[in-house]
Amino acid sequence: MQVALREIGNCIIRRCDLSDLISTMEINLKTLPEHYSDYFYESLLAELPEAFLVAEVDGKLVGYIMCKIEYGFSNFKKLGFVKKGHVVSVAVLPEHRRKGIGEGLVQESIAGVKMKKCDELYLEVRCSNTEAVKLYEKLGFVIKQRLKAYYRDGEDAYLMAVEFAY
């Protein structure tokens, strides 16, 4: 049982438990074309539970966010080598959108990667995904690159990133 990190109306945001992974995978299947193996979900949860979060309404999961940590070149500092959080996937079920749940998930995962002292947080998003791009921009992410044919169907991605000050 995990404590609530944040409440948004009747929705609570909390860390994911192992027993939440099936529902998380179901939300992913319903909402996004990019899917992952159950082993991948388990390893992200084991690696970075601080930023693998779920949104729950009336005992049912309605959204999730999962992240990992990487070491590599900065998206901000020329030639800088940094510790980066990477938002692998975030989604909210259609009937629960536009209530601040997506924003709450991303904000709490930012807090989670900051606990791990990451210098930056980045992600890829389809260039056509205006809602998601707007959400990330609202939270301080900026478009750093356009990645040509990033997705299997050939669509380009924006690489978006935010830098943290401690």
Per CB under 5 A, residues contacting Zn ion are 124
Nearest to 11 by CA among 52, 68, 70, 53: 53
Give me the sign of the Cα torsion angle 104, 122, 95, 3. Answer: negative
Closest distance of CB 96 from Zn ion, Å: 23
Pick from 13, 54, 121, 132: which binds ligand ACO (CB under 6 A)?
132
> Considering beta carbons, is residue 82 or 139 the nearer one to ligand ACO?
139
Nearest-CB residue for ligand ACO? 102
Structure tokens at 166: 């401690």
> Considering beta carbons, is residue 23 or 31 the nearer one to ligand ACO?
31
Nearest to 83 by CA among 117, 130, 50: 117
| DSSP-derived secondary structure letter, 149 | T
74 sits near ligand ACO (criterion: CB under 6 A): no
The H-or-E segment that residue 89 falls in is: strand 81-92
Q: At what angle do helices 21-31 and 38-47 cross, to 10 degrees?
A: 120
Pick from 17, 47, 103, 155: which binds ligand ACO (CB under 6 A)?
103
Pick from 45, 92, 121, 162: which binds ligand ACO (CB under 6 A)?
92
148 sits near ligand ACO (criterion: CB under 6 A): no
- Residues in contact with ligand ACO by the rule CB under 6 A: 31-32, 87, 89-92, 97-103, 123, 125, 129, 131-132, 134-135, 138
